[in-house]
Amino acid sequence: MTSSYTLVFDLDGTLVDTAPDLITALNYVLDREGLPPVPMASARNMIGAGARKLIERGLEAEGRTVSVADMDRMTADFIAYYADNIAVESRPFEGLEAALDHFAAQGHRLAVCTNKLEWLSKRLLDQLDMSRRFAAICGADTFGVQKPDPTIFRETVARAGGDVKASIMVGDAGTDVGVARRAGVPVIGVSFGYTDVPIAELKPDRLIHHMRDLPAAALSLMKG
């Protein structure tokens, strides 16, 4: 039996396929500005740096820039709409729940470390009946820093009651690899998430293509 670890998960594109509801919210905001919708396929890789950056990328796709005041208003509109429609189509990735059951049965702690706002993260996981699985759910506003700043990782592990020296990051993008490297912990990359740079190019310590492979990847790092 391996000693207890803390597995820290990114949320969007790692735990949950949130793209459908995020892009619907983005297109709601763009439509209000008289702009055409962003196609789902191309928009998936715009996700991951928060609502404001998602809107900026959506505007860039149309060659548009807006004032800070307009961006503030659009971001507020986005968050209000998204909060009311946060789990219409968003679902956990296939195999996730079985993987989380496995870790819980082994006595490991589970936590969420995301650049999504904490209250939105909790609302999403509440609606998917997943919040109870995590000892801590921390977002971009929880500690005042975002990934890849290692403070958010360390504080998330601490809030979960874990030890950074016995922790693993699981994520889909450069911010996740970056936060793990800066915190000095191993990282498992998932290839099915949202990133403009393919996760394999970022050289995570392990790379998985399905959540069924997560327990074995984590165990190899724990033993290593």
Active-site positions read 10
Look up residue 8 and give its two tokens: 């820290």
**Residue 159 burial by CB count (10 A; 0-12/13-18/19+): exposed, middle or buried?**
middle
Maximum CA extent, the chain: 58
Look up residue 179 and give its two tokens: 């936060």
Calculate the alpha carbon distances from 130 to 96, 122, 127 in Å.
11, 9, 8
Helix, strand or coil for residue 181? helix
Task: Tell me whether residue 10 is annotated as binding.
Answer: yes
Look up residue 17 and give its two tokens: 């396929």
**Beta-carbon contacts of residue 205 (< 8 Å; ≥ 6 apart):** 186, 187, 188, 221
CB distance 157 to 134 below 8 Å: no
Task: Tell me whether residue 141 is annotated as binding.
Answer: no
Task: Tell me whether residue 84 is annotated as binding.
Answer: no
Look up residue 91 and give its two tokens: 């679902």
Look up residue 169 and give its two tokens: 């990051």
Within 10 angstroms of residue 204's Cβ, the number of other Cβ atoms is: 24
Residue for token digits 């496995």?
A: 102
